[in-house]
């Protein structure tokens, strides 16, 4: 992908095509890199079969697998997982079961071109890092306190 800021987004999917998994019981996550013009499959993370049993230990493994992702799309997610993902800097997003990954990717690319929502703007900003020259630019524009 080009010099444009690229973010990573994960999808709880059993077939790599549709979001069809509960976060905690997901058997796999499909991870794509995306910018405003294109997206590409980066990685598929596989897990053994799990049940929605309230066992919090399984969450740490899943969240660790998503490090570097800005968001994860799933069909359902528990409150504890939402809280842990947010602490890790990952935005959890629920979508209808069967939503096509390609449709979400196209919508994200369009959103990046048109002006991102709050969570997406934060993700892009975090990916770019702090602008160490921002004060120099303000002074050059005539800004003063």
pLDDT single digits (tens) 26-83: 999 999 999 999 999 999 999 875 554 555 567 999 999 999 999 999 999 999 999 9
Does domain 7-140 correspond to CATH entry 3.30.420.130?
Answer: yes
**Which of 14-18, 52-56, 116-120 reaches the highest mean pLDDT?**
14-18
Is 128 or 14 the better-scoring residue by pLDDT? 14
Name the least confident of 62-71, 79-88, 104-113, 124-133: 124-133
pLDDT at 121: 87
Q: Select the more confidently predicted residue: 27 or 142.
A: 27
What's residue 105's pLDDT? 97
Residue 142 vs residue 119, higher pLDDT: 119
Q: Please state, in angstroms and as integers, the Cα–Cα distance from residue 118 to each residue in 20, 55, 111, 122, 126, following that order.
A: 25, 31, 11, 6, 12
Query: Three-state SS across 49-98?
Result: CCCCCCCCHHHHHHHHHCCCEEEEEECECCHHHHHHHHHCCCEEEECCCC
Confidence grade of residue 142 (pLDDT, cut at 50, 70, 90): low
The residues facing 27 across adjacent strands are: none
Provide the pLDDT for residue 48.
74
Please report which confidence band the pLDDT of residue 93 belongs to, taking 50, 70 and 90 as the band edges. Answer: very high
């Amino acid at each position: 992908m080009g010099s444009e800021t690229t973010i990573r987004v994960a999808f709880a999917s059993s077939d790599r095509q549709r979001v069809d998994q509960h976060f905690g019981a997901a058997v796999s996550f499909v991870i794509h890199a995306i910018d405003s013009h294109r997206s590409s499959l980066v990685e598929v993370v596989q897990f053994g079969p799990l049940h929605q049993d309230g066992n919090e230990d399984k969450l740490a493994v899943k969240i660790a697998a998503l490090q570097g992702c800005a968001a994860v799309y799933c069909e359902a997610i528990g409150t504890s997982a939402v809280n842990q993902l947010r602490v890790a800097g990952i935005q959890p997003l629920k979508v209808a079961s069967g939503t096509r990954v390609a449709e979400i990717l196209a919508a994200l690319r369009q959103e990046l071109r048109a002006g991102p929502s709050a969570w997406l703007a934060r993700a892009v900003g975090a990916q770019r890092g702090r602008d160490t020259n921002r004060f120099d630019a303000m002074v050059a524009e005539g800004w003063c306190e």
